[in-house]
Each structure stands twice: as C-alpha cells, then as structure tokens.
C-alpha cells in the first residue's frame, strides 16, 4: 500500500500483483463477512484493488499419507505440521482434506492458465459489521448515479481452478 501511495509510477512499473484473500459468495474465516488476509487491513486491500495495477486475485487436498511415506525431507516435515490444518478443515468443514490456498496462489502467478477468471471492480468494506468484506462488481449492470464504484480499474478474479493439476504440481514439488 505504501509503495502505491508514495510512488505515482508504481502501477505502471509493477508487472503484476497476485494476492490471496477475501471471500465471494461464501462466508469468511474471521467472521461471516471477512477473510483473514483482507480483514487484517481492509483499507490497504481497497487501495491495492483500486490502484490500477494488473491485479490477479485468488479468492479459493489432501495426500498427506503420501507425503508421510515420502523420502523427501520437506514432504515428511509438512506431513507432521499439517495435522493442525487437517483438524481445522475436518472440524470446520467436515472434510477429509485441506484447501491449498497459498500454493495455488503461487501457481496462479507462475501458470495463470490453471485458473479461469472474471474481471470486475473489487471494493473492500472498511468499517462496521462487514469490515473486511470484499465486494465484486462485474460491470454488467449500469447504474444511473455516480458512486464509489465508478471509474475504478478492474481486476482479474480467479473463480475456478484445475484442482487435479494443482494437487499434482504441489505434490511433485513436495516429494523432493
């Protein structure tokens, strides 16, 4: 956020910003409105989303046994530390696996073809009961009045992912 505010040429000089955070059409993980990465500093998130830079946004498995059996030191370590994450997903979502949010975000930066995207304006609620709520406007509907949504740049939002390919790529990297 400070780079954007301090350097007027920042958005022209940066290649792309890929970030993880927010929740669309689902509840957040901090409260029903907010996801932790956006909730932590919604003012900064709103500035990033509306700065005009090329922003790719990743808004959101489980072969832990294979990791545990691997000879790879990272795989074994990860298998051990993932117990908390697996327990959380089991208790919160009643699922036998985990979401690969962070590695998928990295893969979106490296290979964007693994995702499909929508383009629109994102604004972040910065106050009140919905503080941290990310709102997406696809610009398909026209409104008669001038609002805080008008004349804002669009960003690409990842809405689907080739999950089997992502799992395969993550597992391949972890098996070393």
Q: Please indicate, yes or no, if residue 53 is contained in any of the structural domains.
A: yes
Least confidently predicted of 21-25, 29-33, 122-126: 21-25
Neighbours of 128 (CB within 10 A): 8
Task: Please report the pLDDT score of residue 61 as a whole number.
Answer: 39
Q: What is the pLDDT of residues 57-90, one digit of tens each?
A: 655 434 666 777 777 777 777 777 777 877 887 8
Confirm whether pTM is higher than 0.75. Answer: no
Say if strands 115-124 and 17-20 run parallel, antiparallel, or are unpaired.
unpaired
Task: Tell whether the model's pLDDT for residue 150 goes beyond 60.
Answer: yes
Q: Please indicate, yes or no, if residue 130 is contained in any of the structural domains.
A: yes
Q: Please indicate, yes or no, if residue 76 is contained in any of the structural domains.
A: no
Higher pLDDT, 172 or 1: 172
Q: Please indicate, yes or no, if residue 6 is contained in any of the structural domains.
A: yes
Structural domains in the chain (count): 1
Neighbours of 38 (CB within 10 A): 29
Q: Please indicate, yes or no, if residue 119 is contained in any of the structural domains.
A: yes
Q: Please indicate, yes or no, if residue 87 is contained in any of the structural domains.
A: no
Task: Please report the pLDDT score of residue 58 as a whole number.
Answer: 57
Q: Please indicate, yes or no, if residue 166 is contained in any of the structural domains.
A: no
Q: Please indicate, yes or no, if residue 102 is contained in any of the structural domains.
A: no
- Residue of 101, 109, 114, 162 marked active site: 101
Query: How far is C-alpha 84 from the chain's CA centre?
Result: 21
User: Is residue 89 flagged as an active site residue?
Assistant: no
Domain containing 139: what range?
A: 2-60+114-161
**Strand blocks (E) in the chain:** 17-20, 55-58, 115-124, 134-137, 155-161
Mean pLDDT, to the nearest integer, of 139-166? 86
* Percent of the chain clearing pLDDT 90 (strictly above): 19
CA distance 173 to 176: 6
């Amino acid at each position: 956020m400070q780079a954007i505010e301090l350097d007027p040429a920042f958005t022209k000089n940066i290649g792309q910003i890929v970030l993880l955070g927010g929740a669309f059409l689902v509840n957040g993980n901090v409260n029903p409105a907010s996801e932790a990465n956006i909730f932590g500093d919604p003012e900064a998130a709103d500035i990033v989303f509306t700065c005009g830079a090329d922003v790719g946004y990743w808004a959101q498995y489980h072969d832990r046994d294979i990791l545990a059996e691997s000879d790879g030191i990272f795989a074994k370590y990860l298998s051990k530390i993932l117990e908390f994450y697996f327990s959380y997903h089991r208790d919160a979502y009643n699922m036998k696996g985990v979401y690969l949010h962070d590695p998928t975000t990295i893969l979106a930066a490296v290979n964007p073809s693994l995702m499909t995207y929508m383009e629109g304006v994102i604004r972040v609620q910065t106050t009140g009961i919905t503080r941290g709520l990310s709102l997406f406007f696809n610009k398909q509907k026209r409104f008669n009045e001038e609002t805080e949504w008008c004349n804002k740049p669009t960003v690409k939002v990842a809405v689907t992912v080739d999950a089997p390919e992502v799992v395969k790529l993550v597992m391949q990297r972890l098996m070393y």
